[in-house]
Amino acid sequence: MSTTETSSKKMTHKKSHPFWKWFWLTFLVLSLAYAWYSFYAPSNEVKWAENITSTRQLANNSNKNTLLFFTGKWCVPCRIMKREVFADTEVEKIINSQVIPVLIDIDNPSTMELVKHFKIGVTPTTIIVNSEGEVLEYAVGKINKKEFLEMLQRTEAK
């Protein structure tokens, strides 16, 4: 073996600095943790309905407003709202006692008419309607617990 062959083999097997191994390992772990956090939505005690027709009849009989939450399985801000707003025990109690909550998947073909009626272009969209179907409150995008509770409080007076 010549000296040029030996020196070229040594150059190709050069080890990287240990910093880079730790950097990439840390990056991988943090990326996986963020992905889990983005898609994790805990179960909650909100009694979501998925059928708007039976919900309208219930709203007419109970004289309660209806909470419409437009979402999608792929919607990260929706999952964050489910985790930070709807999983809160105070919010759960208020929703279950004051409104009839309806979870609407915008990707479901049976909800297309409803999506068009309310002109839903972005998820999450939170709408509160009265028993006659009139919109009382309308919020586009992710809202926090405080904003959501204020929204519910404003509709109580109407």
Which pLDDT score is estimated for 40?
A: 65
Q: Any idea which residue has 């919020």 for tokens?
A: 139
Number of domain units in the chain: 2
- pTM, two decimals, is 0.71
Note whether residue 69 is domain-resident.
yes
Same domain assignment for residues 138 and 73: yes
User: Chunked in runs of 10, what are the mean pLDDT values of the chain (158 residues)?
Assistant: 53 74 90 74 74 65 87 90 91 92 92 91 94 91 95 83
Q: What is the CATH classification number for the domain harbouring 118?
A: 3.40.30.10
Range of the domain at 21: 3-39
Contact 71, 41 (CB under 8 A): no
Rounded Cα–Cα distance for residues 158 and 148 (Å): 16
